[in-house]
Copies of this chain bind each other. A is one copy, B any other.
């Protein structure tokens, strides 16, 4: 029981020294790599840079205790930072005390929601975000983030959370472009792209071991940060107008108490819910992918607890909403982390940096951070996935496109809500007009196939109708229409057999429709039979009066119905021609 809620107990007691050396190296690498990222995402969220560091310390440690993934690295991530900024901008001015307070509240609410969902085992909620919706949302968010970073790259101040406001802001203020900032941006972008494309192979070519070359290539952002910070300090670019991170207070994360203002709760619960679900989905998808590589499993409901407590920790230590981050997790994984202890070491490392080394961050240009975000975020725009979805299913693509466009034009909240609504709506629409087929017997066998597609035996007075969907409220009326039309078209019918091999559920609405169909067919002198009713469906029907009023029988198989009904008609009306 304790082990179930505290996954740490499943590995900590068996922890060995050799595992520690792997984790130590991975932890130190992660420390260095995620510092620029954490600062950048805090700024993206409109918060002081140091909150990104705070959010990478205690939340990561808490996740280690409660989370079920062994390699997931928890901290600020780009999408969640964007969603945070977008929802807080409606409430307070970025950077103000109210804004910071609201960010803490957002972490608190999100933490509470995730934790409660974890205890209620509601991990399946994440399933309502279909892949096309996630794909469209991530692509659009990537574009939005890249566009918002463009203003930092150009050295002009523009803010907004939809593509039209961002673009019009950029064009209006284009004259304020700051050439030196642009220079830093171009250098950093070029450096990062070169390192990413050719760093590994070039380093290997000059004789470096593959693993080290890989690591150094991935550390591109760190080098870019060090180089541009040093240059800014040396040449005093700050007085030349290059925006820098500026003074970052040193010391351990403060103990913060999010306020309890009910108005704020009312304004923030929807964004908090969306942030929780998006963060959970992002984190779990990644966790599953990595666990699969190592033949491990993650437990979605436990992940809710891990992420929930991490967000609570963030709310009380001056942080921002967090989740499992793609890039920081990949770094952790590639650096050879074996257990969550690597996350602990990274968290302690960031703690040490926050305590002693924040003055070094002062001269870090904002443009450098914007460049690192831009390069990493554009991988979210997944054109091949869009093309695959278009080829496979137009309606799934419609959900993807609607999410993409609405996110770009109306913002992240509208996009994700519309995407979910559309996914559900399309599914209901598809199932509301179920495929059905009149079937006949393949001569000489017990198999029954669609009369329209196959050369099969059928009978003018018996209709064998196979219905290819569960019967529930959205298609109950359609079922009635189908059967009434069938009976109206074929006045000679005496028996209708409803083949339920694909019916996994009959809900109360469909039951009422079946009762109505049964009564109406009876009035027309047609007997209604069922065939191939599944066990669970039959058990349920026994709790109603339907089986008592059913005019016909419930046959175990279609063949059973055929062999029973066919001779009866043959005897009664042997002159009746076959169809």
Contact = CB atoms under 8 A, between A and B. Distances in A.
Interface residues of A, number: 66
A520 B294 CA distance: 11
A437 to B, nearest CB: 9
Contacts of A131: 473, 476, 508-509, 512
A128 to B, nearest CB: 6
B507 A130 contact: yes
Given A128-B428, A502-B502, A508 B392 contact: yes
Contact of A388 (B434, B435, B534, B544): B544
Contact of A129 (B423, B446, B473, B475): B473
What is the total number of copies of this protein in its complex? Answer: 2
A473 B127 contact: yes
A139 interface: no
Interface stretch (A54-62, A65-73, A464-472): A464-472
A392 B480 CA distance: 20
A393 B542 CA distance: 11
A133, A396, A453, A468, most chain B CB atoms within 10 A: A468
A388 to B, nearest CB: 7
B393 A507 contact: yes
A235 interface: no
Interface in A493-540: 501-502, 504-505, 507-509, 511-512, 516, 520, 524, 534-536, 540
Contacts of A524: 295
A187 interface: no
A427 interface: yes
- State the majority secondary structure of interface residues on A: helix
A3 interface: no
A559 to B, nearest CB: 11
B508 A477 contact: no
A410 B439 CA distance: 49
Contacts of A501: 501-502
A248 interface: no
Contact of A478 (B127, B431, B534, B540): B127
Contacts of A128: 428, 473-474
A435 B536 contact: yes
A484 interface: yes
A416 to B, nearest CB: 14
Contacts of A429: 124
A424 B428 contact: yes
A569 interface: no
A270 to B, nearest CB: 15
B393 A540 contact: yes
A221 B569 CA distance: 54
Interface string A94-134: 00000000000000000000000000000010111111110
A17 interface: no
A469 B505 CA distance: 9
Contacts of A126: 477
A543 B391 contact: yes
Interface in A121-167: 124, 126-133
A194 B547 CA distance: 37
Given A292-B520, A468-B534, A473-B423, A432 B127 contact: yes
Given A427-B472, A473-B427, A504-B502, A130 B391 contact: no
A39 to B, nearest CB: 34
A297 interface: yes
A275 to B, nearest CB: 20
A196 interface: no
Nearest to A400: B508
Contacts of A198: none
A214 B212 CA distance: 96
Contacts of A391: 543-544
Q: Would you list the 3 A-B pairs with minimal beta carbon distance, nearest first?
A: A130-B473, A396-B508, A131-B509
27 contacts: A124-B478, A127-B476, A128-B428, A128-B474, A130-B473, A131-B473, A131-B508, A131-B509, A132-B509, A133-B473, A295-B524, A297-B484, A391-B543, A391-B544, A392-B508, A392-B511, A392-B540, A392-B543, A392-B544, A393-B507, A396-B507, A396-B508, A427-B472, A427-B473, A431-B504, A435-B536, A502-B502
Given A392-B511, A392-B540, 10 more contacts: A129-B473, A130-B508, A295-B524, A393-B540, A427-B473, A435-B536, A453-B535, A469-B470, A501-B502, A502-B504
